[in-house]
Amino acid sequence: RALPTSAGALRQRLRQCAERIPEAEAVLDLLEKCPEHQKKGSFPVIVFEGLDATGKTTVTQAVKDNLNGILLRSPPACISQWRTVFDDERTPIKRAFYAAGNYILASEIAKASTQAPVIIDRYWHSTAAYAIATETSGEVQDLPPAQDEVYQWPEDLLKPDLVLLLTVDPEERVRRLQHRGLEKTKEEAELEANSLFRQRVEESYRRMVNPACQEVDASPSKEEVLKTVLQLIKKHCAF
């Protein structure tokens, strides 16, 4: 399978291509500096997931301000300048890059969560959901069965306390995309053209376990969505 699900496996994958791709060597260097099996601090770690334009950037910023938190994203800023290089590579190498981003991010989460609540824009569930959806074609029925190990969180990756999956109906999502008019990654452009792919990504998010995503209807106004999200955080994370 294209997605490496442990730090060891993804390091091996990057090492294999490091001679040809200098950026892979650079990612490996950063990974080396991250101790394995990172532990969370005492503040809650809350992840927001969902398709592009479901409102993750908007809501994560608002939650951060509201909770006086620290906002992080996957892939983390320290490797995002190499993203375009890996987006143009073969799938296994591209997946190794995003997987590595999550392990590097885990060190940042470990540190940040000793200081304040941590709010994260995409993490492992995004890496897994896009990978799973790309590896199959057709209907959601053709995805690996619900109990398959692809939906498991990697054993050696720091776990968040709460994962919220933002969903909006396809028409509203397109309206938001058009409003924003930002440059899209290649995969997001394909996604737009392919509603079955989009459905497979969303269904893969829903099948993820340990931790599972909690779905939030993100179609109401920004204020309403923020209110719902803050209530969920209050209910699930004591701090």
Ligand X SMILES: Nc1ccn([C@@H]2O[C@H](COP(=O)(O)OP(=O)(O)O)[C@@H](O)[C@H]2O)c(=O)n1
Ligand Y SMILES: Nc1ncnc2c1ncn2[C@@H]1O[C@H](COP(=O)(O)OP(=O)(O)O)[C@@H](O)[C@H]1O
Positions that interact with ligand Y (CB under 6 A): 50, 52-58, 176, 179-180, 218, 221-222, 225
Cα angle 13, 17, 19 (rounded to 5 degrees) comes to: 140
- From ligand Y, ligand X, none, which one binds at residue 221 (CB under 5 to 8 Å depending on kind)? ligand Y
Residue 232 exposure: Cα atoms within 13 Å on the Cβ side:
21
Residue 125 neighbours by CB under 8 Å, 6+ apart: 47, 49, 163, 165, 205, 208, 213
Q: Is 98 in the site for ligand X (CB under 6 A)?
A: yes
CB of residue 40 to ligand X, shortest distance in Å:
18
CB of 214 to ligand Y, least distance (A): 16
57's tokens = 């950037």
Candidates 37-45, 121-129, 171-179, 213-221; binding stretch for ligand X (CB under 6 A): 121-129
Q: What spatial distance separates the first Cα and last Cα of the chain, rounded to whole Å?
A: 39
11 binds, among ligand X, ligand Y, none (CB under 5 to 8 A by kind): none
Candidates 122, 173, 198, 207; binder of ligand X (CB under 6 A) is 122
Half-sphere exposure of 51 (CA within 13 A, CB side): 30
Q: Which of residues 178-217 bind ligand X (CB under 6 A)?
A: 185, 187-188
CA nearest neighbour of 42 among 142, 124, 115: 115
**Residue type for 176, please?**
R
- 51 contacts 130 by C-beta, under 8 angstroms: no
* Shortest CB 230 distance to ligand X, Å: 21
Q: How far is the CB of 21 from ligand X (least distance, A)?
A: 17
Q: Which of 38, 60, 126, 204 binds ligand X (CB under 6 A)?
A: 126
Q: Does 52 bind ligand X (CB under 6 A)?
A: yes
Residues that bind ligand X (CB under 6 A): 52, 56, 74-75, 98, 101-102, 122-123, 126-127, 130, 185, 187-188
